[in-house]
Amino acid sequence: MSEDPKNKRLFGTNGIRGIPNEDLTPEFCMMIGKAIGTFFNGKIVIGSDNRLSGDMIINAVNSGILSTGSETVMIGVLPTPAIQYYCKKHALPGVMITASHNPPQFNGIKCIDSDGTELERTKEEKIEEIYYSKTFNVSTWNNIARSFHDNSGFDLYVNGVMNMINVTKIRERRFRVAVDTGNGAAYLTTPELLSRLGATVVTLNANPDGLFTSRESEPKPANLKYLIDLVRSGGFDFGIAHDGDADRAVFIDSEGNFIDGDKTLTLFVKYYIKKGEKVVTPVSSSDALEEVCKKEGATVIRTKVGAPIVSRTMIQEKARLGGEENGGIIYGDHQYCRDGAMSLGIIMDIMAKEHKDLKTLIDTLPQFYITRKTIPAKSDFSSLVERLKNEYAEWEISLMDGIKLRNGHDWILARPSGTEPIIRLFTHSSDLKRSEKLSHDVENLAKS
């Protein structure tokens, strides 16, 4: 985030992110609360994940909102998609205090529209304008608003997911599932959903620890060693892991293989798509989606990276299916946002209907491989762009989001992160070793 009036953008690709008491001071959070309360000018939902700094930020944001005369509904610690579902069902805007997959020293402020979607950029700009101009609504003492508490969001959310899948068939399978909630916001919702679906559940890190002491919040293979070992040795049908706010889910098959989020997205599309439909996904997702959609008579629309961008494009294009390659499935029939619990329900639904295990289902997909790396954003990104253009001069170039260079099914994507001070590198190929070599070459080029 930048609080410099000369660079008035506060919201990144997924809310305002920063370090509490450095970027997200109580004073700043209260002022943002005043801007949010002024913009929405009505009842506002507030929820959070379980980071240690959550109470400080919630209280500051809430104080600012109440000072404008806008009431707040406090619904507690829940996954981000649960807050969004509550907003959608009650037609209320909301604020989620979370930094999603970022390390525990970060936190964030994310705004939600009354349809449950993350606030579109034009509305974020209006909040930023109110913040910088300080044109806040200021209530007289007798019109200052109050907070109310509602604990119904948990059941509303879990039941909402169950309404979208074939519960009877899933219960008949009697799945055995290992779940790692990573000390995050899904520590109750995902185990409860699995229990209601008749599964035998073994949990890892299902305690709300705001320091994420068990593992880093990002659900990537390096952070899921214990879950992978448990699934491999424990006779489970599959394992599932979430990030801090559980808008994403990644899976481990019964043999202990980590399944890339891109593959679960492709599996979802393969079994849920209908002829003539559109699928929306960012430039970072693999070519497997095009292969599947072509076979099913559907089309793929590419966007910049960012769940809000994907969701908004889905709404504009009347697309039911979409998502990102990081484990973020978006099922429009449920709600237009990434939803880790809905992803779990979808995978169980497919497994139950097809009477197949997860590895068998994944093996039927077009096989492409994405290698991901990050490097510190210490230098000017534009210089990296120029070096990539020179090094891969014969490749097709797209500047939709960062730079993407393509040669057949081989491609390279480099883009600055919208949530952390890093550059994200993606390399893609139909051959794993080729993808890894491209990644190595590009990383060396970037570090040079």
Active site residues: 100
Three-state secondary-structure class, residue 76: strand
User: From CA 220, how far away is CA 354, in angstroms rounded?
Assistant: 27
The angle formed by the CA atoms of residues 400, 401 and 402, to the nearest 5 degrees, is 120
Tokens 């939600």 — which residue? 112
- Helices in 92-216 by DSSP H: which ranges? 121-133, 153-162, 167-173, 189-196
Side-chain-side CA neighbours of 137 within 13 Å: the count stands at 21
Strands of 68-198, DSSP E: 72-77, 94-97, 107-112, 147-149, 176-180
State the Rg of the chain over Cα: 22
Contact present, 331 and 339 (Cβ < 8 Å):
yes
Angle between helices 189-196 and 153-162 (to 10 degrees): 40
Distances (CA, A) of 174 to 147, 170, 171, 253: 42, 7, 5, 16
